């Protein structure tokens, strides 16, 4: 902003910004004081609806650099050659907390990356865990309702949380992650990120692959114990946001090594479990990590509201060579994320500087609506047209997926080794004895807060099915706490 006299929103100079205009000295304020009315009206509208989930967040700009050739798997131009750089924006967040909630809490962390590519923006919307609580988006509103404030008590209720988890055994794997050591990262810089869902990559020849993304922190994994987090959340609710901003200000730019797991499309149908099930990981022994990039954050936003709060991400924002999979959670998110932003920020949210393409130009026939900026001037707003308007390419961004059968509400296809508990048990057995003790303690403290014995027992039984020792130790710990 240039220096000079303070003005109104319309640009008129302000003579007095300290005193309201009144009818005589000490008299009532006049409605003709338009500066006063303008300031108060704008102040009342400084907030937009917060995100229902992932409301509490922080973000930064950075650079993604290709470090290995992956053109045999995808024709995406931003991945076309080693050394190629693409500007990015990354938003971190917690899931359940409101906008003013503390950062240091036990909660999954959002890990949403916007790549400003020359073919349009590509959004990869993931978490700091490779799995999730449910596998079908139709259960997502119900799940989130259990994590948010109860409509009667106004508080998060352990009964709601563990009633849902106990009745949804597919959540056992993610709950084991959440209550383990990685449930409370020490900072956004010291945690991994995952695309979590399965996506499609398509190469220049039209050959398709299923892929999963991994972002491994170069700062090393650091976590907080429940006791450390409780103290930090009370002392500094902004701990993670502050840590990220100050690290970048110091020139200590955080970075992540980016890898992908690749599954040939033909192997999906007969793989031992459903590869599109968001509650499961692909074992690295089956599909090893292929490193292909480096992501570095090196610039802080100038205004949190404009660039973090109003930033929008949608998994439906694909570029040529990258597309969706039949993952039922992903399919629901393809609609829900864009719809949330159209409601929360507005129909022209994509026009905002943080959201619009940086390496190319958006060419659409959409016009008007709230905050439309008139960018199209006198251009025609329909297609096809004979006035030189934008036209279709006739080349799909991704390859079609073969389907068969009849329509209807269907369960996820069952593969030979599909099971809701196996991977949770495998995760438990990978932990050291100290890690197991902390996991059981964290879970017991949470489960002991329920008011009904049947809810507690049902929740415990899921972990018992994952691993007998896990369930036995958890049952004993909850019994001791509940007396």
* Structure confidence at residue 70 (pLDDT): 98
pLDDT tens profile 309-342: 999 999 999 999 999 999 999 999 999 999 999 9
* Structure confidence at residue 180 (pLDDT): 97
What whole-number distance in Å separates Cα of residue 73 and Cα of residue 70?
Answer: 6
CB-count exposure of residue 314 (10 Å: 0-12, 13-18, 19+): buried
**pLDDT > 80? residue 346:** yes
What's the mean pLDDT in 284-306? 98
What's the mean pLDDT in 44-59? 94
Residues designated catalytic: 54, 127
SS3 173: helix
pTM of the predicted model as reported, rounded to 2 decimal places: 0.95
Of 322, 321, 292, the closest CA to residue 204 belongs to: 321
* Structure confidence at residue 280 (pLDDT): 97
User: What does residue 436 show for φ and ψ, rounded to 5 degrees?
Assistant: -65, -40
Q: Percentage of the chain surpassing pLDDT 70?
A: 100
Residue 106 C-alpha from the chain's centroid: 16
Contact status, residue 237 vs residue 109, Cβ threshold 8 Å? no
pLDDT tens profile 389-436: 888 888 988 998 888 888 888 888 789 889 999 999 999 999 999 999
**pLDDT > 80? residue 2:** no
pLDDT tens profile 204-246: 999 999 999 999 999 999 999 999 999 999 999 999 999 999 9
**pLDDT > 70? residue 1:** no
* Structure confidence at residue 408 (pLDDT): 87
Distances in whole angstroms, Cα of residue 44 to Cα of each of 40, 47, 305, 311, 326 = 6, 8, 15, 21, 43
* Structure confidence at residue 403 (pLDDT): 85
* Structure confidence at residue 410 (pLDDT): 82
**pLDDT > 90? residue 177:** yes
User: What does residue 360 show for φ and ψ, rounded to 5 degrees?
Assistant: -155, -170
Report which DSSP code applies to 281: P
Contact status, residue 209 vs residue 200, Cβ threshold 8 Å? yes
SS3 233: helix
pLDDT tens profile 202-211: 999 999 999 9
* Structure confidence at residue 105 (pLDDT): 97
Least confident piece of the model among 110-124, 263-277, 362-376, 454-468: 362-376
Least confident piece of the model among 158-172, 351-365, 367-381, 453-467: 367-381
Of 43, 49, 25, 191, the closest CA to residue 108 belongs to: 191
Rama region for 325: left / alpha / beta (φ>0; ψ in -120 to 50; rest): beta
What's the mean pLDDT in 458-469? 97
* Structure confidence at residue 413 (pLDDT): 79
What whole-number distance in Å separates Cα of residue 172 and Cα of residue 164?
Answer: 11
Q: Which tokens sit at 59? A: 């973000």
Contact status, residue 256 vs residue 215, Cβ threshold 8 Å? yes
Distances in whole angstroms, Cα of residue 133 to Cα of each of 143, 177, 279, 398 = 8, 10, 6, 28
**pLDDT > 90? residue 475:** yes
What whole-number distance in Å separates Cα of residue 40 and Cα of residue 210?
Answer: 53
């Amino acid at each position: 902003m240039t220096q000079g006299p303070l003005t109104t929103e319309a640009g008129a100079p302000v003579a007095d910004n300290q005193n309201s205009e009144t009818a005589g000295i000490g008299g009532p304020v006049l409605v003709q004081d338009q500066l006063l009315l303008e300031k108060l009206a704008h102040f009342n509208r400084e907030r937009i609806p917060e995100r229902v989930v992932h409301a509490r967040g922080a973000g930064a700009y950075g650079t993604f650099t290709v470090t290995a050739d992956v053109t045999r798997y995808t024709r995406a131009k931003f991945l076309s050659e080693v050394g190629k750089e693409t500007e990015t924006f990354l938003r971190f967040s917690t899931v359940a907390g409101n906008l003013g909630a503390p950062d240091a809490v036990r909660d999954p962390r959002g890990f949403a990356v916007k790549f400003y590519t020359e073919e349009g923006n590509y959004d990869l919307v993931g978490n700091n865990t490779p799995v999730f609580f449910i596998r079908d988006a139709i259960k997502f509103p119900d799940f989130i309702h259990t994590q948010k404030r109860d409509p009667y008590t106004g508080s998060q209720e352990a009964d709601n949380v563990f009633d849902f988890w106990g009745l949804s055994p597919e959540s056992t794997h993610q709950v084991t992650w959440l209550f383990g050591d990685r449930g409370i990262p020490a900072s956004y810089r010291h945690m991994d990120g995952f695309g979590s869902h399965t996506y499609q990559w398509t190469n220049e020849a039209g050959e398709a692959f299923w892929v999963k993304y991994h972002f491994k922190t170069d700062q090393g994994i650091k976590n907080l114990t429940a006791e450390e987090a409780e103290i930090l959340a009370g002392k500094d609710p902004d701990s993670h946001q502050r840590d990220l901003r100050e690290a970048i200000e110091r020139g200590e730019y955080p970075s992540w090594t980016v890898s992908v797991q690749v599954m040939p499309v033909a192997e999906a149908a007969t793989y031992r479990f459903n590869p599109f099930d968001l509650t499961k990981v692909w074992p690295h022994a089956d599909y090893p990590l292929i490193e292909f990039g480096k992501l570095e954050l090196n610039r802080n936003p100038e205004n949190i509201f404009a660039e973090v709060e109003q930033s929008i991400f949608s998994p439906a924002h694909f570029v040529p060579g990258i597309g969706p999979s039949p993952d039922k959670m992903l399919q629901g998110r393809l609609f829900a994320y864009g719809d949330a932003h159209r409601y929360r920020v507005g129909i022209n949210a994509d026009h905002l500087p943080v959201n619009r393409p940086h390496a190319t130009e958006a060419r659409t026939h959409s016009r008007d609506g709230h905050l439309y900026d008139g960018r199209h001037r006198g251009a025609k707003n329909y297609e096809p047209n004979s006035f030189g308007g934008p036209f279709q390419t006739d080349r799909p961004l991704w390859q079609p997926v073969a389907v068969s059968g009849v329509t209807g509400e269907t369960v996820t296809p069952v593969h030979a080794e599909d099971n809701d508990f196996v991977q949770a048990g495998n995760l438990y057995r990978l932990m050291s004895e100290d890690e197991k003790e902390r996991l059981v303690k964290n879970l017991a403290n949470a489960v002991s807060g329920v008011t009904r014995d049947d809810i507690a027992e049902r929740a415990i039984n899921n972990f018992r099915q994952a691993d007998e020792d896990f369930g036995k130790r958890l049952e004993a710990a909850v019994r001791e706490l509940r007396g």
